[in-house]
Structure 1
Amino acid sequence: MLGGTLAGRSAWLVSMLGFAALAAMAMILFAVGLSGAAGGAPAVASTASRGSNAIHLGVASCSGSTCHGRSENDGTVVRQDELMRWQEESSPSGAHSRAFRVLSEPRSQAIAQRLGIGSATSAPMCLGCHADPVSAGQIGPRFQLSDGVGCESCHGGSQNWISSHYAVGATHQGNVAAGLYPLTNPRARADKCLDCHFGSDRPGQFVNHRIMAAGHPRVSFELDLFSTLQQHHDDDADYVRRKGKISNVRMWAVGQASALDRALSLYSNQKIAQDGIFPEFYFFDCHTCHRRISDDANFRATAVANPARPIPSGMPAFNDENMIMLTAAARAAAPALAGRLDADSRAFHAALATDRASAVRAAGKLRATAEALANSFAATEFSRAQTFAIVDAVASNAVTARLTDYEGSVQAVMATDTLLNALVNSGQVGAGSAAAIRGDINQAYAAVRDPNSFRPAEFRAALGRAANAIRALR
């Protein structure tokens, strides 16, 4: 089903972060958990993303052998071994179940100690993403905090749909109407995942620069890739009949637009975007500040000029990884919005060098463009030609010239892999042909293995080779 790409993707994630971090990266990139939230801030994500007030009955309520608790995938309608896959110790698919356990590990305890928040296993700023953070009034009798990110963390409180969703004649639309969260909707899924994989304004769901300084791993997310790593179902004919076909390219494109929307909305929130006299540096590209410094007269600066960031030298740059990917997607699938996106993103970067009021105004305009793109992508089928065109755009000179920093380059290689995977999943490229160029994809992954030794020129060359190999399959 994955066209031979999952092994390469997982291998890169493991090599970059180690398995313990991968376990959480596939669930919340080690979770955006140890996070300090700004209480009382205005809502950022959609109302649907917040879920209903239904009671969360707990993972045990889904674990019967006639439901999702079998040891083999021999169900007549669904696999019925979903719980076992959720608990899988040797695979990223079990990362959500390990979320709470991660908080007991030495790294998490050390981070909590540096932050002075007590034990990570009980700190609200950790539990917001390492567990199912429901209110006391939503906790059912079989609910266990130690279940970590359980079924209802993503599917919503099951009080009103647990009995009806397996009833004779039940439909997916009926289950959604009863409160099941609509994860098959790309925009709804993005909103849900971004709450922890990027952050929200809810308690415990916003990672900040201080938490990163305390040792929390970097946060990186790509909706389609992480959905693949966490998938517990089969996209068979019955699934498609009941829920529709999920397009990998559409999921990727909507995810990029939604991530930019979320970043800008949080940045514009005064209660989150400031930290004392400083701006909240979490929103900015790490490596515009964290570069090698020397007083040697022969030292060469490591910063690389970026043509899309009209900001003075020495200023931190807003993390534009999603803007860059959106540029590629828009050129191929929403050309009417491509020029608007380029103009609005440049204006936003320029406004950051002016004052906060100007930056917030520019962020609002760019957000509107991101939302327009999300709506456009959500309604796009993404043809074979468009998918190849996005690969071309990601590796084009106009886009690669903007890959001057680590974060954007990571998104570029994940996008290239995702788009190839989509072509295989849709039957538009043979699995054998895709496997033959696995080495080129892996070389691009290797180029972003270590953020501290990242070299833009070498990465661009590796990405170009991978894109050329995919282009040859056209």
Structure 2
Amino acid sequence: MHISGHISRLWAISRVDGVQAAFAVFSCLALVIGAFFIANLAGAERLEAQASRAASGTHMGVGSCAGSTCHGRNEADGEVVRQDELWRWQEESTPGGAHARAYRVLGEPRSLAIGKKLGIGDPRSAAMCLGCHSTPAAAKGPRYQVSDGVSCEACHGAASGWLASHYATGTSHARNVSQGLIPLENAKARAGVCLDCHLGSDAPGQFVNHRIMAAGHPRIAFEVDLFSTLTQHHDEDADYRQRKGKTNSMRMWAVGQAMALERSLSLFGKPGLGTEGMFPEFYFFDCHSCHRRIYDEEDARPAKLGNPGRPIPSGMPPYNDENMIMLSAAVRIAAPELASQYETQARGFHAAMAQGRVPAVEAANRLRQTAMALADRFSRSDFTRAQTFAIMESIASEAISPRFTDYEGSVQAVMAVDTLLSGLVTQGQVTAGSATSLRAQINQAYAAVAEPNSYKPLEFRRALGGAVRTIRSLQ
């Protein structure tokens, strides 16, 4: 199903279930960046320590969570949590069942064909696939099964340290986190976990390179708030908010964009991932810039529009900058004092790609540090109603819109507008009825990115602009 189909289903689900989220000079700036890192060093170290504990513990398996007094009920009638979480995780009829199906799809014809083309045999036993289609575990308890796919502990962390204590009388969320539970309510922690598979990491079996996609694997795309909502299996009731706080979808979106860019640039800088033989790893490039119709007659005309955000020579494939573009819109509104440095570094990175591997990696590292600082900044920001509307306006503005020349960035843009509007509904700043009344305009923007081969940049920009102009009436 294309992304527009997922969103349409999500919008309907949100109305029925009440989940109203369908869809967030240079020396002075250098001092600001430094202050961000110093202020947040302790927090970053805590997140790293928690991730380390989660990775080093024993994975107890889905069966350890499946009791009828725990998360294995058929009805959502628990007093504290729903207690039907496993049922929702497994539900075939919704996007929420995708994680439970992850291992099973490796045995389907498409996956078997990919395995044959890659020469890896059965994908169900191939390390190249199991890093994301199962739950990698250094230590496995007696109930662990690789066939469970992306299980509870893939996201919540190895449960050996906190399984018994997390339901004990008098326990606290903070205590569970100290024992290895991953604090997924924290935008940076959640994005870090999700990005391992939904964008990639340098761990075994967690990087879908261009060869894998050429063999038939779907293109990797991700937006943390939207995908979280699609797979949500809990209710954010009063008890949840008391223990973990209320989710701010706009913050989740913004932090996710910053961390996705940081992750992409980090992977690009690794020799074993950024290159393959004499070629660069094409995973990092914008697919649509190469996968276009070719005109080679005498009056051949270029199929590509000029992009002011990419100062690269004509004919050179550009880096996939979908998250970079979204961050440009966010930084202008939520961290304006960093906007100039960010834009300079982003353009500098694209320009360095034409100069060679070494200057490109150096430029990537500079931009990556700024992305990390923005993730820290955004993780502490409330994203007011006015800021959220301003970010949506910025995405469709004359400053950003000309950068929508390729499919990937355009998909991120329409997901962003829908996510940010949905966040306003969730925060009670826009009524659900008002947002629903704009569905037709938003769907027009989705239709413009419904299929990569029919994507037309100018038509998309008009559709996105129309949706944002309509949303403006809610201010």
Taking structure 1 as the reference length, what is the TM-score of the superposition? Answer: 0.90
Query: Does 2:217 match 1:216?
Result: yes
Give the conservation status (yes or no) of the 8 Å contact 1:12–1:446. no
1:160-239 correspondence runs (5 A): 160-239=161-240
Q: Partners in 2 of 1:8 and 1:124 — Cα distance?
A: 31
- Which letter maps to 1:147? D
Which residue identity is paired with 1:63? Answer: A
1:366 is aligned to 2:367: yes
Query: 1:66–1:202: structure 2 CA closer, same or farther, 3 Å change rule?
Result: same
SS of residue paired to 2:324: helix
Residue pair 1:154, 1:192 contacting (<8 A) in 2 also:
yes
Q: Give the aligned partner of residue 89 of structure 2.
A: 86
Counterpart-to-counterpart distance in 1, 2:362 and 2:296: 39
Q: In structure 2, what is the equivalent of residue 148 of structure 1?
A: 149
Residue of structure 2 equivalent to 1:129:
132
Q: 1:130 to 1:61 in 2, by over 3 A?
A: same
What is the one-letter code of the residue matched to 1:334?
A: A
When you count helix as a share of all residues, which structure comes out higher?
2
The alignment-based identity, stated in percent, is: 61
1:252 maps to 2:249 = no
Task: Give the corresponding residue for 2:99.
Answer: 96
Structure 2 counterparts to residues 299-448 of structure 1, below 5 A? 299-448=300-449
Pairing 1:74–2:73 present: no
Structure 1 residues 312, 107: closer, same or farther in 2, change over 3 A? same
- TM-score using structure 2 length: 0.90
Report the aligned-residue RMSD: 1.7
Partner of 1:63: 66
Give the Cα–Cα distance (whole angstroms) in 2 for the partners of residues 10 and 251 of structure 1.
17
1:286 paired residue number: 287
- Secondary structure of the 1:472 match is helix
Q: Does the CA-based 8 Å contact 1:46-1:191 persist in structure 2?
A: no
The residue number in structure 1 matching 2:26 is: none
Amino acid at match of 1:321: E
Counterpart-to-counterpart distance in 1, 2:164 and 2:384: 39
Alpha-carbon distance between aligned partners in 2 of 1:57 and 1:419, rounded to the nearest angstrom? 37
| Counterpart amino acid of residue 134 in structure 1 | A
8 Å Cα contact 1:12/1:445 also seen in 2: no
CA distance in 2, matches of 1:351, 1:276: 21
Q: Which residue of 2 aligns with 1:22?
A: none
- The answer for the alignment partner of 1:10 in structure 2 is 7
Amino acid at match of 2:115: A
Pairwise CA distance, 1:160: 1.3
- 103, 116, 123: which is aligned to 1:120? 123
Secondary structure at the aligned position of 1:361 is classed as helix
- The alpha carbon displacement at 1:47 in A equals 5.6
Name stretches of at least 5 consecutive residues in structure 1 with no aligned partner.
1-5, 15-25, 27-44
Displacement of 1:270 in angstroms is: 0.9
Answer whether contact 2:50 2:178 (CA < 8 A) is retained.
no
SS in structure 2 of the partner of residue 429 of structure 1: coil
- Return the offset for 1:166: 0.7
Distance in 1 between the 2:231 and 2:115 partners?
27
Partner Cα distance (2:334, 2:276) in 1: 38
**How far off is 1:294 after superposition?**
2.6
Q: Distance in 1 between matches of 2:163 and 2:78?
A: 18
Amino acid in the other structure paired with 2:169: V
Q: Is residue 131–residue 145 contact of structure 1 (8 Å, CA) maintained in 2?
A: yes
Structure 1: how far apart are the matches of 2:116 and 2:49? Answer: 34
**Matched-pair contact (CA < 8 Å) for 1:68–1:83:** yes
1:124 is displaced (CA, Å) by 0.5
Asked if the contact 1:199/1:207 (under 8 Å) is kept, the reply is yes
Q: Alpha-carbon deviation of 1:242?
A: 0.7
Provide the aligned length of Structure 1 versus Structure 2. 438
Match of 1:54 among 48, 52, 57: 57
**What is the CA-CA distance between 1:298 and the residue it aligns to?**
3.2
Q: Which runs of 5+ in 2 are unaligned?
A: 12-22, 24-46
1:394–1:245 Cα change, 3 Å: same
Distance 1:9 1:427, change over 3 A: farther
Partner of 2:113: 110
2:80 corresponds to which letter in structure 1? V
How many angstroms apart in 2 are the aligned matches of 1:73 and 1:174? 26
Contact 2:55 2:137 in 1 (8 A): no
Do the aligned residues in 1 keep the contact of 2:50 with 2:181 (CA within 8 Å)? no
For the 8 Å contact 1:49–1:191, the answer to whether it is kept is: no
The letter of the residue matching 1:114 is K
Between the aligned partners of 1:322 and 1:300, the Cα distance in structure 2 is 29
Tell me, in whole angstroms, the C-alpha distance in 2 between the residues paired with 1:72 and 1:213.
43
Distance in 1, Cα, partners of 2:367 & 2:296 = 39
1:116 and 1:46 mapped to 2: Cα distance? 36
2:10–2:230 Cα contact (<8 Å) kept: no
Query: For each residue in 1:353-385, what CA deviation from the matched residue of structure 2 results, as whole angstroms up to 9, or x when unmatched?
Result: 011111111011101110111011001011111
**Alpha-carbon offset, residue 53 of structure 1:** 1.3
CA distances 1:400-430 after superposition (whole Å, capped 9, x unpaired): 1101100000000000000000010000001
